């Protein structure tokens, strides 16, 4: 038996400002830090030894995980993987969602945010928001850095990384992943075999640990959010 714990980062500054964040490196708000601390407290109450920690390359996910580890008094190193990054929102990056609703309509914005295979226009490589101009991505070959992504694109990179780097560890070890709304949607599609409609409508709350219990055959036997007051529907459970 093993456990996979998935946590979306705590509220970020651009979450608060209702802006498309994507791959831009934005830190947590004070509320986000408190959400991360509460996540750590809830995980600690489960008394589960976590053997491996993973995060994206992004500051908000890294700092969420660091706060959780402080609460757990666990100083293990964690793996940072760009494959667990948030979806790249292309030319929408940095824009206010409410303003875009007024400009192009809520339906179109919803398509860009949640449709399975529709991509926003690509982000100009000269933009300060483009990953090639952000220090955190300097070691990633430019040819594999996206200019924009659909949810499908995000699923493909997250799923591949999970299969190659994480799945085998869950045979007998416990893993905690700190990631993002869309990379966690991708993980949930993978774990729960969700269809494209279900994954597009799955809501992922910030800073609320989702704990998945697996049996010795890697089948899910139980799944729950630890903060019951802020839990969202899991679609399948």
Q: Strand 210-214 to strand 2-8: parallel, antiparallel, or no bridges (unpaired)?
A: antiparallel
- Catalytically annotated residue among 9, 88, 130, 180: 9
Task: Let me know if 130 is a catalytic residue.
Answer: no
- Residue 198's Cβ-count burial label (10 Å; 0-12, 13-18, 19+) is middle
- Catalytically annotated residue among 49, 70, 86, 224: 86
Q: Which residues, other chains included, contact 61 with Cβ-Cβ below 8 Å and sequence gap of 6+?
A: 9, 55, 84, 178, 179, 180
Handedness of CA 176, 178, 184, 187 (dihedral sign): negative
Q: What angle do CA 81, 85, 188 make, to 5 degrees?
A: 100
| Nearest alpha carbon to residue 88 among 126, 144, 166 | 144
Q: Strand 220-225 to strand 210-214: parallel, antiparallel, or no bridges (unpaired)?
A: antiparallel
Task: Let me know if 106 is a catalytic residue.
Answer: no
DSSP reduced 3-state for 224: strand
In contact, 209 and 226? CB cutoff 8 Å: yes
Q: How many CB atoms lie within 10 A of CB 55?
A: 26
- Residue 220's Cβ-count burial label (10 Å; 0-12, 13-18, 19+) is middle
Q: Which residues carry out catalysis?
A: 9, 86
């Amino acid at each position: 038996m093993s456990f996979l714990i998935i946590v979306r980062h705590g509220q970020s500054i651009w979450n608060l400002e209702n802006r498309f964040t994507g791959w831009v490196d934005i830190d947590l708000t004070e509320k986000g830090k408190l959400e991360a601390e509460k996540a750590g407290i809830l995980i600690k109450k489960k008394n589960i030894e976590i053997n491996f920690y993973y995060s994206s390359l992004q500051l908000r996910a890294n700092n969420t995980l660091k706060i959780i580890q402080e609460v757990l008094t666990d100083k293990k190193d964690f793996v940072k993987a760009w494959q667990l990054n948030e979806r790249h929102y292309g030319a929408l990056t940095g824009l206010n969602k409410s303003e875009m609703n007024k400009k192009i309509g809520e339906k179109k914005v919803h398509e860009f945010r949640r449709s399975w295979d529709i991509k926003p226009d690509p982000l100009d490589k000269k933009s300060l928001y483009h990953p090639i101009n952000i220090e955190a991505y300097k070691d990633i070959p430019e040819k594999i850095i996206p200019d924009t992504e659909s949810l499908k694109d995000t699923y493909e990179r997250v799923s591949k990384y999970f299969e190659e780097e994480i799945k085998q560890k869950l045979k007998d070890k416990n893993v905690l992943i700190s990631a993002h709304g869309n990379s966690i949607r991708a993980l949930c599609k993978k774990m729960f075999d969700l269809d494209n409609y279900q994954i597009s409508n799955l809501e992922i709350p910030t800073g609320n640990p989702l704990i998945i219990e697996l049996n010795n055959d890697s089948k899910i036997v139980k799944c729950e959010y630890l903060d019951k007051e802020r839990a969202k529907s899991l679609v399948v459970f």
